[in-house]
A = this chain, B = another copy of it.
Amino acid sequence: MCHKEFIISKKQHLTELGRGNYLRLIRDGRWEYADRVNARGAVAIIAATSEQQFVLTEQFRHAVKRSVIDLPAGLIGDVVGEEDERSEVSALRELVEETGFHASKLTHLADCPSSPGLTSEIVSYFLARKVTRVSQGGGVEHENILVHTPKIRSIKSWIRKQVSAGKLIDPKVYAGLYFLSTQ
């Protein structure tokens, strides 16, 4: 296969340097970044049970070759036929798919760039209190997600144990702890 660098917009100096099934690499003047091709954005859910447990996920991430502890999170509009899905609907769907927990109410907290030096992705953060378990979770298709429900009051020592076991902590987890303590 042979790709041409594809000029997207001469006026905006946008060039596509490469494209896969999920991401494309864009040059924008002097800048370069990864852009999702199959989704309109992403959601992350800061979920706590009424027993003050924090609902977290663990999955192996090929990009970093490590297991990563994260908030339940996923893409908006990546399901065929559901491209116009609202972010709140994506958040409820991802929470139950990944963790088996259901939220009766979501509060939108913030829209944050994932890593704006290298990607256009924006993540919408939602808060869900008093979530209840309705199924096993674990994700869909090829996803293989472990669910953790550590107590928030002893989260520092729990995180320390995860790091000692070789896992990485996504910074969304720390952002989530900030929101849990201030909202």
A residues adjacent to B (C-beta < 8 A): 1-5, 16-25, 27-34, 36, 61-64, 66, 68, 70, 110-123, 125, 142, 156, 163, 168-172, 174-175, 177-179, 181-182
Contacts and interface: CB of A to CB of B under 8 A. Distances in A.
Copies of this chain, complex-wide, total 2
B118 A68 contact: no
Given A17-B18, A120-B63, A113 B25 contact: no
Nearest to A44: B171
Contacts of A16: 18
A170 to B, nearest CB: 6
A117 B25 CA distance: 15
B20 A63 contact: no
A34 B34 contact: yes
